[in-house]
């Protein structure tokens, strides 16, 4: 019995180390976020609805705009948590639990 616990602990430890190594490799190699990652971040910051409104009006692509215009889509504003589900209903088909969780993580790590 003790041997099985010891073996499972070693397997868990190796899995965690392997996961950290893979994450570190991807972090070093990756240059740009994918489209899915960008949309997930927009949802988690509560700005997907706002982004869609701007996009329907012609968007910011190909126009002269300041960096603060783009950064505004990736900052968490007041009431963002409550906007996640309604924005998803209008613009996406995913359930909001993941984006609510990501929102809480972003609030914790953003300065």
DSSP string of 6-68, one letter each residue: HHHHHHHHHHHHHHHHHHHHHHHH--S--HHHHHHHHHHTT-HHHHHHHHHTT-STTS---HH
Please give the pLDDT value at position 55: 82
Distance CA(58)–CA(100), nearest Å, equals 29
Distance CA(34)–CA(41), nearest Å, equals 11
Tens of pLDDT, residues 40-75: 999 999 999 888 888 888 777 777 888 888 888 888
**pTM metric for this prediction:** 0.65
């Amino acid at each position: 019995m003790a041997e099985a616990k010891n073996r499972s602990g070693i397997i868990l430890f190796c899995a965690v180390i392997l996961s950290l190594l893979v994450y570190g490799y991807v972090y070093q190699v990756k240059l740009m976020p994918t489209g899915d990652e960008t949309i997930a971040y927009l949802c988690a910051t509560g700005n997907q609805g706002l982004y869609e409104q701007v996009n329907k009006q012609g968007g910011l692509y190909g126009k002269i705009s300041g960096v603060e215009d783009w950064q505004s889509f990736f900052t968490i504003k007041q009431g963002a948590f409550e906007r996640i589900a309604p924005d998803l209903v209008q613009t996406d088909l995913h359930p909001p639990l993941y984006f609510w969780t990501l929102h809480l993580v972003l609030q914790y790590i953003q300065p």
